[in-house]
Amino acid sequence: MKIRRVVTGHSADGKSVVASDEALDPMTIALMPGLDLYQFWGGDSVPSLPVDGAPGKLPTYFPPAGGFRFALATIPPDSVTPAAPLDMEAAVHEAQQKVPDLLELMEPDHPGMHTTDTVDFEYIVSGEVWLELDDGVEVHLRAGDTVVQNGTRHAWHNRSAEPCRMISILIGARRQR
């Protein structure tokens, strides 16, 4: 499904303008069938204004300290599996190209569990999802619910029969070790 993104900016003489108005396709990853990711906007540092509204290059899916991302994810039901056997080497390579830091953050012994150095603001648009934290603690979230995810170890599970759509705003943070 395409989603319209309108971006504003400033002209050379300082006037407010529509910098772009376009329909975006989701990013899909063969390794994670049914997962649709839209990365609407982001930056790797604190924004400065005025701007022309041109998108910047984002080398990673998750922002560094001081960076930010605005995204939407469609999380498929846990029961969704690949339609055909995957060429694992090609699927891993594709995932590393499209979401460079995602696989590195995933825990191999606990599927989906990961920790990011971000503060995430999540809003469940539709469907439902379970947020898993340490020690098996889970929170069931439905459309209209929000989560403030403060850099904790977590995983998302969709145990329903319908996809879950979730808006995320991620702010890069500094983790004190």
Task: Report domain extents, the chain.
Answer: 3-172
Degrees, nearest 5: CA angle 40-124-69: 25
Confidence of residue 85 (pLDDT cuts 50, 70, 90): low
* Mean pLDDT, residues 76-100 taken together: 85
Least confident of 2-6, 48-52, 77-81, 154-158: 77-81
* Nearest Cα to Cα of residue 56 among 64, 15, 31: 64
The domain defined by 3-172 folds into Jelly Rolls (2.60.120)
User: Where does the pLDDT of residue 45 fall: very low under 50, low under 70, confident under 90, or very high at 90 and above?
Assistant: very high
Q: What's phi and psi for 74, nearest 5 deg?
A: -105, 115
pLDDT band for 100, please (50, 70, 90 cuts). confident
What does the pLDDT average to over 15-35?
A: 94
Average pLDDT of the segment spanning 34-50:
94
Output 95 or 121, whichever has higher pLDDT.
Answer: 121
Query: Which strands make up the sheet holding 146-150, listed edge to edge?
Result: 27-28, 36-43, 68-75, 164-172, 118-126, 146-150
Q: What is the pLDDT of residue 158?
A: 97
Res 82: pLDDT:
67
